Amino acid sequence: MNRAERLARLLRVLAAIIAEPGLNPLELADRAGVSERTLRRDLAQLRELGYEVAYTSGYEVQEKLNLDGRAKRRPRGRGDDALLQAVAQAVETAGLWRDTEHTEVIAPRRNKARASGPAALVMIPSGEEDPDFRYATGMGIETGLYIRYADKDDVLVTSPLEADRARAQSHASKVVEDREAYVRDAWAQLAATMLREKGISRARIAPTLRAEYLEDLRARGLEVVVDRNLFVAERRRKSVQEAEAIRLAQQAAEWAVVAVVRELAGAQIKDGVLWSDGTPLTSEHLYARAQLALGEKGFTCPDMIVAGSPDNALPHYRGDGAIKANAPVIIDIFPTSRTTHFNGDLTRTVVVGEISDEVRNMHAAVLQAIDAGIESIAPGIPAEEPHLAVCHVLVDRGYGTTTKGYEGRDGVARMNHSTGHGVGLAVHEAPSLRHTVRDPLQEGDVVTVEPGLYLLGLGGVRVEDTGMVTKHGFQNFTTLTRSLDPRDYL
């Protein structure tokens, strides 16, 4: 490349910086019509010549008011900017510059992206367990980019760390790696560039996309729409393989519950507290035992509930400290497979020692309610029907709920949550079995049925099964006893 061509290219880069300060290197290379590799070499050469071109905020490229070079330090006026841009434009028009690293001609300035056809799907994962990203690509990664331009036209962009695994595991039609986007966390900027290269200006995103990525996409001229129903219908209808993966996860949950109950059954009662191996038996010990059992089967559940009374009257209390005797213990385990990443969900309540009439009656009402909920499940019925069936039983048995019309009497134990939810790649997904949800249940839905009763100062009782909606009703994946007596689990 001769001196005139090199000067023309450097002028073109400077003009692009002046015209749009704050571009990242990918965008700047696009504006200047050079490769990113060439751009980085040009920026280094400009700095050597005394032009203060620098990165700000760790990534954006801006010039620092010294485009006159080392020889002169006078402030630069607006006329200099206009002159530089005019010279660059003239050189460009005269055809005196080109990128010699490419055989094809790279246009010095791209046309504005045009909206054409349906919006492309742009996904940046919220983490390795992002269920929508995993569904779309067939794998989970901590950070990366997935774009689906159209059916069978998609690309997964990863860091060098994940590229080989992505090529082996992902079902994207194309896998590429981009170290720079990974290092700079510039996935949104890269997405905008890739869409612009296709002439696309519209994108749809998942509701879970981080707000900063959404802002970055819109700041780069994309029309972005949040797809609130992204993969909802697809993920609801479980395939034979997906249903089997959930059933295996439910088996693992049963295995872990039995491991916990075995520890409870072997404990001694001393001063109203359970003891084992000379120390009080704690939620922490039982949690560790359940995790060991799950790990041996290839599953994990970091947020499981092993909670004693009276604090388990708070349904999402995880449990801590010594377990009391003669009071309900709630065990709620929802394991995730480390290979398929599908979930199960199972809850049982047991009492070590004397079972009071109050707890026994609460448990009997919950068992009747879970059976009523399960019996009401069928394709086509509104998703609220199992919940209302559960509420009806609980109120008939003298208890209450927080559902309007099923409040029951004041001061009694009550259910303060929905009856169930979908289970799949996420432990909580569509459909929701709660009041006012009138969308019909469908064949292939996998749902929980989990009524409970809670009374502050006493504790709680909850029982939960998981199964699939079929044309014959509810196919229960759960086989474990629902007994209050730990000995029945052994």
The pLDDT value recorded for residue 11 is 77
* Tens-place pLDDT, residues 467-482: 999 999 999 999 999 9
Tally the residues of the chain: 490
User: Could you give the percent of the chain with pLDDT greater than 70?
Assistant: 82
**How many other CB atoms are there within 10 angstroms of residue 337's CB atom?**
19
The pLDDT value recorded for residue 104 is 38
Q: Which two tokens stand for residue 476?
A: 């229960």
Asked if pLDDT for residue 38 goes beyond 50, the answer is: yes
Section 407-422 average pLDDT? 97
Which region holds residue 197: left if phi is over 0, alpha if psi is between -120 and 50, else beta?
A: alpha
Provide the CATH topology of domain 120-230.
Creatine Amidinohydrolase; Chain A, domain 1 (3.40.350)
Element (H, E) at 476: strand 473-476
The pLDDT value recorded for residue 21 is 66
- Long-range (24+ apart) CB contacts under 8 A made by 222-228 are 222/113, 222/192, 222/195, 223/115, 223/119, 224/122, 225/119, 227/121
Of 292 and 67, more confident: 292
* Helix residue spans in 76-206 (DSSP H): 78-93, 131-137, 160-169, 179-184, 187-197
Task: Please answer whether residues 15 and 84 qualify as being in contact, where contact means their C-beta atoms are separated by less than 8 angstroms.
Answer: yes
Q: Which residues contact 233 (CB under 8 A, 6 or more apart)?
A: none
Section 113-118 average pLDDT? 50
- Tell me 117's DSSP state: S
Of 116 and 247, more confident: 247
Asked if pLDDT for residue 68 goes beyond 50, the answer is: no
Q: In the chain, where are the structural domains located? A: 3-93, 120-230, 236-489
Task: Please answer whether residues 403 and 387 qualify as being in contact, where contact means their C-beta atoms are separated by less than 8 angstroms.
Answer: yes
Asked if pLDDT for residue 67 goes beyond 50, the answer is: no
Asked if pLDDT for residue 445 goes beyond 60, the answer is: yes
Asked if pLDDT for residue 98 goes beyond 70, the answer is: no
* Tens-place pLDDT, residues 342-373: 999 999 999 999 999 999 999 999 999 999 99
Asked if pLDDT for residue 84 goes beyond 90, the answer is: no
CATH architecture of 3-93: Orthogonal Bundle (1.10)
Report helix, strand and coil shares of the chain as percent, to nearest 5.
Answer: 35, 20, 40
Q: Which residues contact 2 (CB under 8 A, 6 or more apart)?
A: none
The CATH number given to 236-489 is 3.90.230.10
Average pLDDT value over all residues in the chain: 87
Of 325 and 61, more confident: 325
Global pTM value: 0.77
Q: Which two tokens stand for residue 81?
A: 């900017």
CA-nearest of 142, 136, 127 to 156 is: 136
The pLDDT value recorded for residue 72 is 38
Asked if pLDDT for residue 381 goes beyond 80, the answer is: yes
**Phi and psi dihedrals of 50, rounded to 5?**
100, 0
Of 68 and 131, more confident: 131
Measure the CA–CA gap between 215 and 69, rounded to whole angstroms: 36
